[in-house]
Amino acid sequence: MDIETGQPRIGGPAGIGGTWVKPLSLRWVHKIHEELGMPITGSNGIFDHKDIIEFIMAGSSIVQVGSILMVKGIKWLPKMIEGVEAFMDEHGYNSVDEMIGIASKNSVKDYSEQFSKNRVHAAVNDETCKNPTCNICIQVCFYEALSQNPEGKIDVHTDNCIGCELCLDVCPFDSIEMKETAPAQFDQGYFNIPDGIFEKDKFKTSRNNMDTIRRDSPKFNTEPAE
């Protein structure tokens, strides 16, 4: 939006699309795939072949691209397709069908399930990490779980690492991976959430019984307008 005038930016007759919208698009592809199971054309937010794979793994059977061809030109299209083919060869997928919805199937249903999942922690690949030239991951970690050691390598303080994955997302050199924390590692002080520290049902999306609330609340239970 234009905050000078207080006007929304998408005010014309058309023109939505672009990489900024990808998370929203993926969310709805996933929801439709999961709840309706119907064929989906995934679109809005595709930049490269990796985005195409993401849309397919979220549940799209085919995809559509728009604005990136305006930005990059039509020659970008075969590059995207070649990228998908190379990815499938490298990962042993024989058909697009094999990839449809596989990430959607593995997703959690609500925050409660997310909190109950196995803990993970960050691990840095010293071979590819560019520290000390780069220290982006240290800057982004809220939990003081990363520091630079005298050898110019990144130390992960696993007692502080909550496994939020932010460092993995921002590393420009793909040098961080998340590893599942093994039960024995909790005894060594790796971060864990002790039982009973959070209210398990707090994040259940079904926690609010909207039928009862609608029935009992004067706010919802109003007479229909004449």
Using CB under 6 A, list all residues that contact ligand SF4: 122, 124, 129-131, 134-137, 140-141, 143, 145-146, 154, 161-167, 171, 173, 175-176
Smallest gap from Cβ 72 to ligand SF4, in A, equals 27
In DSSP notation, 108-164 reads -SSHHHHHHSPPEEEEE-TTT--TTT--HHHHH-TTS-EEE-TTS-EEE-TTT----
Q: Which is nearer to ligand SF4, 114 or 217 (CB)?
A: 114
Of residues 56 through 85, those in contact with ligand FMN by CB under 6 A are: 64-68
Separation between Cα atoms, residue 129 and residue 125, nearest integer Å: 6
The entry of ligand FMN, ligand SF4, none that residue 101 binds, CB within 5 to 8 Å by partner kind = none
Separation between Cα atoms, residue 23 and residue 168, nearest integer Å: 17
Of residues 28 through 47, those in contact with ligand FMN by CB under 6 A are: 43-46
Q: Which is nearer to ligand FMN, 20 or 186 (CB)?
A: 20
Q: Which is nearer to ligand SF4, 92 or 142 (CB)?
A: 142
HSE-CB at 209 with a 13 A cutoff on CA atoms is: 4
Q: What are phi and psi of 177, to 5 degrees?
A: -130, 160
Separation between Cα atoms, residue 146 and residue 167, nearest integer Å: 9
At 125, the amino acid letter reads N
Smallest gap from Cβ 166 to ligand FMN, in A, equals 25
Q: Which is nearer to ligand FMN, 43 or 192 (CB)?
A: 43
Per CB under 6 A, 17 contacts ligand FMN:
yes
Smallest gap from Cβ 79 to ligand FMN, in A, equals 15
- CB-count burial class (<10 Å; 0-12, 13-18, 19+) for 146: buried
Which member of 3, 10, 14, 225 binds ligand FMN (CB under 6 A)? Answer: 14
Site residues, ligand FMN (CB under 6 A) = 14-18, 43-46, 64-68
